[in-house]
Amino acid sequence: MQFDAAVRATEFDAFYTFNPARLAHATRAFVEGFPGSVLYAVKANPLPQVISTVRAAGVAGFDVASIGEALLVQAEAPGARCWFMNPAKSRRDIERAWRELGLRDFVVDCAAELEKLLEVLPTQEPSLRTYVRFHSGASDALYDLNSKFGASHADTLRLLQRIAAQTRWSSGIAFHPGSQTISVEPYLAALQTAARLVEQANAPVAALDIGGGFPARYDNMPMSPPASLLQRLGEFVASSSALKRVELLCEPGRVLAYDCMSLFARVILRKDQALYCGAGIFGGLLPAQQFFQLPVRAWRGSEPIDVAADGRSEFVVFGPTCDSNDRLAFPYALPVHLREGDWIEFQHVGAYSESVRCAFNGFSVDHLVTVGEHEMG
Ligand SMILES: *Cc1c(COP(=O)(O)O)cnc(C)c1O
């Protein structure tokens, strides 16, 4: 169904739009700006058309956290390489990743996880590479992943040494400053740590994976495009005698995907300045429950409502379920005369919306419309 037909349709109260040209553009720009290999982090948005679009736009491979994600990539991007970069993997999944799916890149952040790899994988196989994920230090990321993963400096050195002593694998180091890292400083501090690790390791370090976390643009966080951040990281690496010799990788998810999708939610009830919509946090607006104010537009039928003519006022926005948590964190400035049947278009929901939505209370946003670059104005 085309976009025009979708906004006029009466049979659903919410749907997504997907703009492949935007995703391709963001991906190409990032790949051009990063001085190394770019892997797409599948968990940000695992839609088949997202996988195939980022691949066609030039990513070197995919960062997967599970067998399910690896199978998805193999189905949608046959022949593409997957990196298994989850520091906590079951023995069975390690085995399947290597034997059935041919994955060669794994990550650990502690001795117990390395023990599993040593027992399950062939230690004399030189095409295998193990990354040691280290704690990247203080971060201003909204989702600080270091609270869950990351070896200390000393443990990282010990793990690298063990890999060198007991296997013929190559090794690398990795970090992730957390999702939606606001400033460049956490990356620069982690790169400094990485340089010291490479210098102090009594073992060859072939690669450095700097993870994801590159920030997206939301109304309450007007981040600029990643080009200048990438340039600063590139300059740092080029000026470091330890780092300029290693292969460089990164694993962005959010920054590539965030602006390729919108969620259209119909106003199903207006109660004064409160709006109840066809989709809320369970339908894909979870990121807006806490941290983010999404850019919005209001539509009546297939035309955006002219706010200049109508004027704006602030609304509290609820989803359709009976859970009181199903409410967005920020008030939204929308047309004064917004009424039942109108649409609210929540923009920048390409990352961590589709991948975390569920059918709680029987509301499921299963309709997706692919749109051309200029189709929605
Ligand atoms: C989530 C995750 C990513 C992607 O993070 P973004 O903030 O979406 O860029 C990359 N690598 C790993 C290991 C992750 O867990």
DSSP β-ladder status, 312-318 and 303-304: unpaired
pLDDT at 1 over 80: no
Query: What superfamily does domain 20-257 belong to in CATH?
Result: Alanine racemase (3.20.20.10)
pLDDT digits (tens, 9 = 90+) for 239-290: 999 999 999 999 999 999 999 999 999 999 999 999 999 999 999 999 999 9
The rounded Å distance from CA 213 to ligand 1 centre is 6
In single-letter form, the type of residue at position 269 comes to: L
Query: What superfamily does domain 3-16+258-370 belong to in CATH?
Result: Lyase, Ornithine Decarboxylase; Chain A, domain 1 (2.40.37.10)
Q: Which atom belonging to ligand 1 lies closest to the Cα atom of 254? A: 8
Q: What sections of the chain are H helices per DSSP? A: 3-8, 20-33, 48-56, 67-76, 91-99, 111-120, 153-166, 185-200, 227-239, 254-257, 287-290, 307-310
Residue ranges, comma separated, of all CATH 2.40.37.10 domains in the chain are 3-16+258-370
From the list 181, 169, 179, the residue with the least C-alpha distance to 131 is 169
Q: Which atom belonging to ligand 1 lies closest to the Cα atom of 86? A: 13
Residue ranges, comma separated, of all CATH 3.20.20.10 domains in the chain are 20-257
pLDDT at 376 over 90: no
Regarding pTM above 0.95, the answer is: yes
pLDDT digits (tens, 9 = 90+) for 145-190: 888 999 999 999 999 999 999 999 999 999 999 999 999 999 999 9
Q: Which residues line ligand 1 (CB under 6 A)?
A: 41, 43-44, 63, 85, 176, 179, 211-214, 251-255
pLDDT at 343 over 70: yes
Say whether 73 sits in a helix, a strand or coil: helix
Q: With beta carbons less than 8 A apart as the criterion, state whether 120 and 160 touch.
A: no
- Residue found under tokens 């034997």: 99
Count, residues in the chain: 377
